[in-house]
Chain A
Amino acid sequence: MAILSFADLVNECTKQNKSIYEIAQEQESILLEDTIDVVRLRVLEDLLAMKEAVKNGLHSTEKSISGWCGDDCVKLPQRFNKKGALFGKTFEKIITYALATAEENLRMGRIAACPTAGSCGIVPSVIIAVSEEEKILEAEQINGLLTAGFIGLLISNKVQLAGAVAGCQAECGVASAMAAGALCQMLGGNTSQIIQASSLALKNILGLTCDPVCGLVEVPCIKRNPFLAVHAVTAAELALCGVESKIPMDEIVDTLKITGQLMSPLLKETSLGGLAKTKTAQELEKKLFNKKV
């Protein structure tokens, strides 16, 4: 049976007594006409590309083509090595890795779009940082990424994951919902808790607009990655404590879509409104076009 909604997913998991990642890898193996091992190997390729992007991004200060961004990530360990972050090592790593990946993306480095290039730091930072600190094995990390992917897939069946279609809620917001589910899976959450984690993350980011300055994946996209990564952790922790969203996930996804439709086109990747129309953004735009000519 084709699984098209989160309600279908819960039913299928219960009926077959399987985890979300098991359902995900089986469905993918049928679709790709290949074995589950091959599917997992492809997920591992993504995971390794994500780790490589973090590694490359951690120490680089190379600026983006515009020259605006690219030198923030290195500032984090400079402080954390002297004075640890209030929320501890895992928190330090999550925001550092998210920034490292997002900066690597803007300098034309190699990343895995997850679900998009602009939101590429969120899922990897949570999976990699928590795995390092909690000593989570690679196979479990793959299970986490499969869980994240399946959550994103079910959302994308209803809403196109693009800022131009539904704003940043459909890019960084969905990435955060995916990361929350992945984290919950890796920390031993059950199917219901995993979906609750995604629900809580997505519900609390509805309405986020896409207003990139000069149409570039830089301001505010880069820094949005560490913020939404931490947002995912809050959602996963709440869900693991047994906190539940009153509104079910399928209805939250419908709301995501409708909110996207209600959102003014000025706030959907056109750079005609929001932060892109601020005085400073317009000054940056003038400078950028002078540079281009």
Chain B
Amino acid sequence: MEQKSLFSVISPIMVGPSSSHTAGAVRLGLMARNIYNHEFTKVKFVLYNSFATTGFGHGTDKGLLAGVLGYSVDDSGIKNIFDTVSGVDYSYEYREDISRHPNSVDIIFDDKMTICGDSVGAGEIRINNINGFTANIDGSYHSLILMYKDRPGMISKVSDIIQKQDINIASLHCDRSSKGGTASMYLALDIPVGEDVVEKVRQIKDVFFVTNVRKLK
């Protein structure tokens, strides 16, 4: 059993009213922002199930928007975010889908990237899909996410670059649309890599997307 911190019981410091529906929503937004890692002018949130039905009374809509704009979970500005936000076209859609987790959301940036995640309780989150590729990211590790054309040797090329930095890979997850099709790779790292490493990975032939994601606080 992995030992837990006492602060998992007497924290986090957050804006209320719900750790799953408010703090979890902010963290999902923050994680999505980190993954997309680009300036954006448009963002759409599709809320599912309990997020859709009770999210209104819990400020889930405000939390998600605050997260993608980089607010932390304890920022008192979240309450009035609709009055202060500018320069971003944001919208919400509400759906029911029993195949999805009760507290689930799709976050779509600039109609270019769709990030799906769940708020799994006590403010903990999980990103489970990025642009149709399965993922399993809970924000507890620094990580590197890339998309590329599936071909032999990609894992070793990437891990070689990381190994040369003497950085330990805690876990590795790959997925692909089809043999030779589009593929994704997710690496959880014990310490974050620098931009030079990201650049080296980006220069690997057939890699078309790389993002360096810092772990959530």
A in complex with B: yes
* CB-defined contacts of A2 to chain B, threshold 8 Å: 3
Task: Name A28's contact: one of B1, B6, B22, B53 (CB within 8 Å).
Answer: B6
Q: Does A113 lie within 8 Å of B58, measured CB to CB?
A: no
* CB-defined contacts of B8 to chain A, threshold 8 Å: 153, 156
Q: Does A113 lie within 8 Å of B14, measured CB to CB?
A: yes
Task: Name A292's contact: one of B6, B10, B56, B62 (CB within 8 Å).
Answer: B56
Q: Does B122 lie within 8 Å of A161, measured CB to CB?
A: yes
Task: Name A216's contact: one of B4, B54, B76 (CB within 8 Å).
Answer: B54
- The interface stretch among A100-108, A200-208, A236-244 is A100-108
Q: Is A84 an interface residue (CB 8 A)?
A: no
Q: Does B15 lie within 8 Å of A149, measured CB to CB?
A: no
* CB-defined contacts of B57 to chain A, threshold 8 Å: 64-66, 214-216, 218, 288
Q: Is A264 an interface residue (CB 8 A)?
A: no
**B62 (CB) vs chain A CBs: closest residue:** A108
Q: Is B132 an interface residue (CB 8 A)?
A: no
Q: Is B99 an interface residue (CB 8 A)?
A: no
- The interface stretch among A87-95, A115-123, A191-199 is A115-123
Q: Does A113 lie within 8 Å of B22, measured CB to CB?
A: no
- Say yes or no: A152-B13 contact (C-beta < 8 A), given A66-B57, A216-B58: no
* CB-defined contacts of B1 to chain A, threshold 8 Å: 4, 157
Task: Name A113's contact: one of B12, B53, B79 (CB within 8 Å).
Answer: B12
0 or 1 for each of A35-58: is its CB under 8 Å from B? (1 = yes): 000000011011001000000000
What's the Cα separation between A206 and B5 when bound, in Å?
25
Rounded to whole Å, the gap between the CB of B15 and the closest CB of chain A is 5
* CB-defined contacts of B15 to chain A, threshold 8 Å: 108-111
Q: Does A107 lie within 8 Å of B6, measured CB to CB?
A: no
* CB-defined contacts of A4 to chain B, threshold 8 Å: 1
Q: Does B122 lie within 8 Å of A112, measured CB to CB?
A: no
* CB-defined contacts of A271 to chain B, threshold 8 Å: 54
What's the Cα separation between A146 and B18 when bound, in Å?
23
* CB-defined contacts of B23 to chain A, threshold 8 Å: 113, 117
Q: Is A14 an interface residue (CB 8 A)?
A: no
Interface centre among B13, B53, B78 (most CB of A within 10 A): B13
* CB-defined contacts of B17 to chain A, threshold 8 Å: 64, 105-108, 117-118, 216-218
A-B contact pairs, 20 of them (CB 8 A): A31-B5, A32-B5, A42-B7, A46-B11, A66-B57, A107-B79, A108-B78, A108-B79, A109-B79, A110-B13, A110-B74, A111-B14, A113-B10, A114-B9, A117-B14, A146-B6, A148-B10, A149-B7, A152-B6, A216-B57
Which 8 pairs across A and B sit closest by C-beta, in order of nearness?
A: A105-B16, A152-B9, A215-B54, A108-B79, A149-B6, A149-B10, A217-B17, A216-B57
Known: A107-B17, A108-B59. 13 other contacts (CB 8 A): A104-B16, A109-B79, A110-B74, A110-B76, A111-B13, A113-B10, A117-B19, A149-B7, A156-B4, A157-B1, A162-B122, A215-B57, A218-B57
